Structure 1
């Protein structure tokens, strides 16, 4: 009978959620928003690049004083410049408006700043003076060196191929951490998307005054576990809705629109890292889901429950402030605390797992901790819901529930 009730609860909650327009609006608006933002950023980047290139090629009339001897008369003239000898007179000419711009190149431009004076043409257009000065100096250096290879090396235009080894095998390097770190992104998405829904899952029955009726036909444990499983199923639908377009876009646009052309073979991580990531993700979800359901069980209204959701979310983001320490010293006491403290453990462990600094022993402890505490949180949520089902207008006293048999 209990298993039958569990299936009924899962099916009912899952289908009820999928039938809500708000669910699909929330789910679909994210990939649409990501697509719009990506398009805008790509367009803005292309426009900015064209703007800088146009500024560098823009024909302008200016005066220049070159004490470095780098700029030849021919180069200065081709760039639109007129050589002058009086520094202060040239600056005054720009100030009074009789000259559009003046560029002063000091004796050692590598150590002293090149000074640019010009007529204010607005925040973006005024940048063309410095762009022309930069291009003119770059051409002057190329002419002096007269060696394209040395010029490219001096400018830092050097290509590398990197091959890293781990345990005698070629490792994926930076790309190998992408898949394990994807579990961290999934954890944030699941909690942020579904956390509020989990929190309010038990409050709806209390607000609708149907809790006693529900409990007469459904075991409290089956009800709570069924709600969590149904929400997890709806979360899987959301993840697929988000993940499939992203994966398809990556496959189709690799090497275009600023998306790196990464080999899929380079993205294949170690199986152990993927297994640890999946288990930590599952354990973290169970813990947070149990805690959220327990909080929802003691709250009389959804408004009161939503106020507690922010406190839970904060614990997820606190470990991000320790990212520099996690990267530089993963064995420090602070990182250890974040790794084993229940509500910061999922984020910290997933981050360290992706970066390769989480040992097998630490992973085993964290996974066991998350599943044990998650089960305890669900058991507490069941008890709180059973005793708090009739408290429609007041919060349930945790002390009074725990003292009851």
Structure 2
């Protein structure tokens, strides 16, 4: 037992150090953080430039003429905004065309049935919107003046605020604040699989392609070797996740205002024990299933090129449930959603989604978790078996049935 633990530690340390020392690993791991830093720097510079150019424009005004057939526009307000009334629309439009006037607004007799015509001198895509904005603001301000009631004005303009509460089982429902925490397990699942899946596949193929597995298996049990590889891959994944998150965390802590990042308030999040425990178990179980499957593929295929033909469709299984996202949320009892919930390769994503949005019942959660752990452990045991007999199949795909026959003969 002590020897097995020693060998396991040796495998974990060797695989971890070997992986992080590779030049490709350093390039792949640092590429995204460096790219994020460059993007943040460009955003910071752009925001500073925009702020510098926006400051002198805050108080900038433009002159315009207007014609009002509706009688809604108030002359004093229009004058303060820089407007001048005209009863000759054709001449006003011509003045805008030849550049002698900045803009002309033509208010129809009934703005509820006819559009307000806005004519302006071209100042560029981002500045041209100011003409319509001023025309709209002037119309709304004049209409509010006619209404004369702050209450009615607020109701008509949509500035009334609403404070809603929903209840579940006699208690105030968590709402979006209760969805985000368990949904993070789905994010971690995707990140871990995207970062580690290719390394999981190559973890058994590398020794096979280098023709060294026979030598390794003379001193190591296949179970110890596979277990050590999986643990080392998990550690490598943690390193990559921390490296990727570092620039994001630093940018948020020190440059949030400059980069215009949204403010996050943890007080609005609700960490309900049930969904969080279920989410953690689904994450671990789903990771076990996909890890075992990828290691088994690596044990069967002779080269990484041939393994890639199965790798692509397998990874696609993680994204298929999103094609039925609306049904997963609104109609969890639908047949397709039930199939995705219990099929091992789509169950992790589907169940994590349903768990976050509260449509996964405790009974369903228990069934899916047990199923995924049983299937995952079975696949891992199969992967160890296949690796034992497939490690010397250098030129062809491993015959799975043949490995069991050889195992029976060896047992006799």
TM-score by length of 2: 0.85
State which of 212, 215, 220 in structure 1 corresponds to 2:214.
212
Aligned to 1:13: 15
**Distance of aligned partners of 1:46 and 1:241 in 2 relative to their CA distance in 1, 3 Å threshold:** same
* Farther off after superposition, 380-389 or 56-65: 56-65
Distance 1:255 1:120, change over 3 A: closer
Provide the C-alpha distance between the structure 1 equivalents of 2:12 and 2:143, rounded to a whole number of angstroms.
72
Structure 1 residue 101 corresponds to structure 2 residue 93: no
- Measured at CA, do residues 109 and 29 of structure 1 come closer, stay the same or move farther in structure 2, by a change above 3 Å? farther
Counterpart position of 1:167: 169
- Unaligned runs of at least 5 residues, structure 1: none
User: 1:276 deviation in Å?
Assistant: 0.7
Q: Which residue of the other structure, out of 316, 319, 338, is the alignment partner of 2:318? A: 316
In structure 1, the residue matched to 2:139 is: 137
Q: Deviations over 1:205-238 (max 9, x none)?
A: 1222211111111111221122112111222333
Three-state SS of the structure 2 residue aligned to 1:102 is: strand
Q: CA RMSD in A?
A: 3.3
Q: CA deviation at 1:37?
A: 4.9
User: Which of 191, 194, 208 is the aligned partner of 1:192?
Assistant: 194
Verify the 8 A CA contact 1:253 1:259 in the aligned structure 2: no
Unaligned runs of 5+ residues in structure 2 are 408-412
List aligned pairs for 1:4-403, cutoff 5 A. Answer: 4-31=6-33, 33-34=35-36, 37=39, 58-95=60-97, 99-148=101-150, 150-242=152-244, 257-264=260-267, 266-401=268-403
Change (3 A) 1:161 1:68: same
- Partners of 2:376 and 2:95 in 1: CA distance: 75
Counterpart-to-counterpart distance in 1, 2:160 and 2:41: 30
State the number of aligned residues: 404
SS of corresponding position for 2:317: helix
How much has 1:4 moved relative to structure 2?
Answer: 3.3
1:239 and 1:112 map into 2 onto residues whose CA distance is 56
For 1:112 and 1:390, the matched residues in 2 are separated by 80
In structure 2, C-alpha distance between the alignment counterparts of 1:177 and 1:250, rounded to whole Å: 22
Instruction: State the TM-score, normalizing by the size of structure 1.
Output: 0.86
Cα gap change, 1:401 to 1:120, in 2 (>3 Å): farther
Note the C-alpha offset of 1:96. Answer: 5.4
In 2, the alpha carbon distance for the partners of 1:55 and 1:134 equals 20
Question: More displaced, 246-255 or 77-86?
Answer: 246-255
Residue 352 of structure 1, CA deviation: 0.6
Q: Deviations over 1:280-308 (max 9, x none)?
A: 10010010011111112223333333453
**Matched residue, 2:410:** none
Q: In 1, Cα distance between the equivalents of 2:150 and 2:5?
A: 76
Q: In structure 2, how many angstroms separate the alpha carbons of the residues matched to 1:162 and 1:250?
A: 30
| Higher mean C-alpha deviation, range 276-285 or range 111-120 | 111-120
Deviations 1:341-380 (A, max 9, x none): 1111100100110111100111111111111111122122
How many Å apart are 1:100 and its aligned residue?
3.9
Q: 1:154, 1:40 → 2: CA distance?
A: 42
- Distance change >3 Å, CA 129–CA 3, structure 1 → 2: same
